[in-house]
Chains A and B, each alone.
Chain A
Amino acid sequence: MGVVSQAAAAPRVKELTRPPTSLWADAWRRLLRNKAAVLGLVIIVLILLVAIFADDSVVAVFTGRDPQPLLAPRHFAKQSLENNNAIPYWLTHVFPTLKPVGVEGGYAKINDTYILGADYNGRDLLSRIIYGTRVSIAVAIVGPLVSLVVGVSVGIVAGYAGGRTDNLIMRFVDIMYGFPDLLFIILLMALFRSTTSAAEAGTLRAVLTGVDNAMGGMFFIFVGIGVTAWMSMSRLTRGQILSLKQKEFIEAARAVGARDGRIIWRHIVPNILGPIVVAQTLNIPQYISTEAFLSFIGLGVQRPTPSWGSMIADGASAIRTYPNQAIFPALALAAVMFAFNFLGDGLRDALDPRLKGTD
């Protein structure tokens, strides 16, 4: 028995040894093993590339000319009224009710140059979906950015300072939680949008409206999401810090004379980053759907800038006649929402310290 146990022990020790890895490298490896998460990541990267290269504005910014469509077959606002509601022939196989002109009861104009069809003003659906990624991606970036910067700093201050400061800040957060966010955004839009004509030059309203117009109507969506998105992040951060700051390694850092700033940045933030990243990734679909919802009810981006939400709204009114106009943007929206959810889910598993080292 002794011999046997010795012989088995040596290789086991070897097996358990592996090159040292950081938390992040480890998480990355685990993430790559999760197929759904990888799929999500691939979709997100693709959409990101599509958003960037929808037209050549990357180049055009430097040369100073108007951007030309690059990935998109046409510009999103390019209309060809005589091709209104045109569909490519292949769609008649997908939707049996969509009968081409010439067939009994047929009404759809066939034009194969529109790969997914054209909308009511003869604008290419595919191009509009491609340009529409820009709005969704912008929201997916700005939402987390605001909530990271504002939410995390508020959370850190509250959690680290503790006592009365903590109490004051968190009560403020509680109050903000009671804020009806959607109603707030709608009111914001109603105030700035529908009364633009009354804004006098030089007033704050005129300035904000100008900014909003320059951004194609995305500014107030950002404001709306920004105002409401940081609160849950600040609660999460505070909770994490409260549990961390009692830990021995923080006490040790303090004992050797580290200042607060150093403790926060070198010891606390790296330790709470995992849960924050996971929470953010899982929040992104919510930001995207908020934007889509606002555009759906007509308070989102300004026409003719395409957003998937407004495209679905326009398509919904024609759903029995031209189902393609609602279904394709809806599919695009669904794909991105799934991608972010899968990725967030994978990240949560990958960053869970309890799963560290497991296969």
Chain B
Amino acid sequence: MFSRNIVLTVLGLLVAVSLIAAPVSAAPPVKGNNQIDFENLPPKETLFSALFGAGDIPTLDPSLAEDTTSIQMGLELFVGLTRLNEETAEVEPGMATEWKISDDGLVYTFTLRKGIPWVRFDRSTGEVVVVEDEQGNPRYVTAHDFVYGVKRTLDPKTGSNYAYVNWIIKNAQAVNGGSELGDQDPLYGKVDEIGVRAVDDYTIEYTLAQPAAFFPGIASMWINWAQPRWLIEEKGEKWIEAENIQSYGPYALGDWTHDVSATLVANPHWPGTEAVPKPSIKYIHFTMLDESPSFANYEAGLADVSGVPLTEMDRVKADPVLSKELSIAPELCSYYYGFNVTKPPFDDVNVRKAFSWAVNRQAIVENVTKGGQEPARWFSRPGLTAAPDPAKDDFGPPVAGDPAKAKEFLAASKYGSADKLPEITLMVNQVEAHVKIAEAIQQMWQEALGVKVNLVTQEWKVYLDTLDSDPPQVWRLGWCYDYPDADNFARGVFRSDSGNNHTRWKNAKFDQLVDQAAIETDLDKRRALYVEAEKILVEEDAAIIPIYWYTRVQVTKPYVTRTYSIGGHEHYEKWKINK
């Protein structure tokens, strides 16, 4: 999913200020005996997380989530049939106790855990309570809820950008409108034709269109979580608001003050499993602030965990206390710039190559990001199953760039020289770090090619909408793994029909290679196929500029015992506070 570190937006800031101001001018809410004051949570029972960044959570709807912030929240509210271990990326049992695979590799049967109730946070009592049905009986999570979730994601009316991941399920592509016939397909919109069914209340059967070894990973994803049909049908798109939402995971949503903060409250009805234990910390409070104020809060003792702004890296590394609280480790995410290949001048492959070769990735990770990131030459993050390996594979734009070659590419393009290029706009989401990187690259292009590029920023939520509707000429994104396989990167993002492919770049050969790699079982052969595919992506067609492979750079207070995720979101139910 798209990764953002920290987002600051002017409009967001203004809204935030007005929201902070609003409760002051209005009559203060009367706090009953049991009501929780979310602005003054007890420090011993609360983890104050400053890992979110400014700007609102885009959505809590599992069918619509596509970014790290939304999914982070979702991961605590819901649990998939399987769950990926955040430290090893291994598939572990989630809501399913076990699963069986048919001999032909096409039918997956999951057995569901029993007695896990749907819950909601009751504002009047300040407690997480079990949801009851019309007869007053507790509602337990059943196979039907999971099937409903899958069908809702794939229903073209839902408009999920992530639905394509589920096209691996039988008939799903046609139902979702992804077949060649589009909405003329006879199966279009007929969600009951999708190859998923509830055998009984606690057994779910998936039938796939083709064998896929990574399907248990897909079963862990938000697009396949159980969803409360009764609630969604009653409340429509408002079902995700704090006063409505029902969930069943280790935490429940206590409060969501848009653009300001969100608080999770431990769900006492979650029984705790080996992979998803009962939470130890009662409240998790997220503030939506940019990296610098977040880190300032951390230093002032107002936050327990925070990212580190680029400008503070030098001091944090040298500081005797902060340097011990700092953790840097690889994260399975890639940072890249994409081109909109339908917009001039980037409809010319030589211009794209010129821009890619002019970027000195080494200088960026050493002098701008400083968090031990690795300069990237292609998209699939090494460390993923079957991803190209920098120790063995040598292709893609050079790590330190090659300005001379870049000039040659530009001269070979139909424009010939920099002054004949049309106006170029680079867009990034409004985050200090992204803007700084963008400025450095803007200047690299200026120096290597003599091109003046305009830099524009947008708030995260708005930015994602822009990328969906009308991607600018050059834009920035990160991608974190959903399941730890190169398939999730190469095919998941850049196949021509992927909802996450904002380049508008299509290459039949690339599609064919990644499709072949998806069903290939031999690891070496798969890797070779991805190498070939990536060569097309970053070298021959240069549809993107790979920049670096992420590391996680965080500071944590010493009294917090935690796990360190490699994938962009944390599993807070495993954390503890020792105060």
Contacts and interface: CB of A to CB of B under 8 A. Distances in A.
B318 interface: yes
19 contacts: A82-B363, A121-B368, A121-B439, A122-B367, A186-B11, A186-B14, A190-B11, A194-B456, A195-B466, A197-B340, A302-B454, A303-B435, A303-B438, A304-B439, A304-B443, A317-B311, A318-B312, A320-B296, A322-B311
A298 B315 CA distance: 26
Given A79-B440, A303-B435, A317-B292, A85 B457 contact: no
A78 B443 CA distance: 8
Contacts of B14: 186
A85 B314 contact: yes
Of A104, A210, A297, which is in contact with the most chain B CB atoms at under 10 Å from its CB?
A: A297
Secondary structure at the A interface, as helix, strand, loop or mixed, is loop
Interface in A89-105: 99, 101, 104-105
Interface of A: 77-79, 81-82, 84-85, 99, 101, 104-108, 120-122, 186, 190, 193-198, 210, 213, 297-299, 302-304, 316-318, 320-322
B470 interface: yes
Contacts of A85: 311, 314
Contacts of B427: 197
Contacts of A82: 363, 366-367
Nearest to A322: B311
Contact of B315 (A79, A81, A107): A107
Nearest to A194: B458
A193 B368 contact: no
B311 A321 contact: yes
B430 interface: yes
B35 to A, nearest CB: 36
Interface in B384-437: 423, 425, 427, 430, 432, 435-436
B13 interface: yes
A127 to B, nearest CB: 14
Given A79-B443, A121-B439, A193-B456, A320 B312 contact: yes
A12 to B, nearest CB: 66
A84 B443 CA distance: 14
A321 B299 CA distance: 13
B519 interface: no
B317 interface: yes
Nearest to B290: A317
B20 interface: no
Given A85-B311, A121-B368, 10 more contacts: A79-B443, A101-B318, A121-B443, A193-B456, A210-B423, A299-B10, A303-B438, A304-B442, A317-B309, A318-B311
B471 interface: yes
Nearest to A121: B440
B440 A105 contact: no
Contacts of A304: 439, 442-443, 455
Interface in B465-483: 466, 470-473
A77 B443 contact: yes
Given A81-B440, A320-B312, A197 B446 contact: no
A186 B366 CA distance: 36
A302 B435 CA distance: 12
Nearest to A210: B423
A297 B10 contact: yes
B523 interface: no
A81 B364 contact: yes
Given A81-B363, A81-B368, A297-B10, A121 B436 contact: yes
Contacts of A79: 440, 443
A359 to B, nearest CB: 51
Given A190-B11, A197-B471, A303 B430 contact: no
B98 to A, nearest CB: 49
A58 to B, nearest CB: 21
Nearest to B422: A201
B200 interface: no
B458 to A, nearest CB: 5
Interface in B443-501: 443, 446, 454-458, 462, 466, 470-473
Contact of A105 (B318, B439, B455): B318
A82 B10 CA distance: 31
Contacts of A210: 423
Interface in B285-330: 291-292, 296, 299, 309-312, 314-315, 317-320
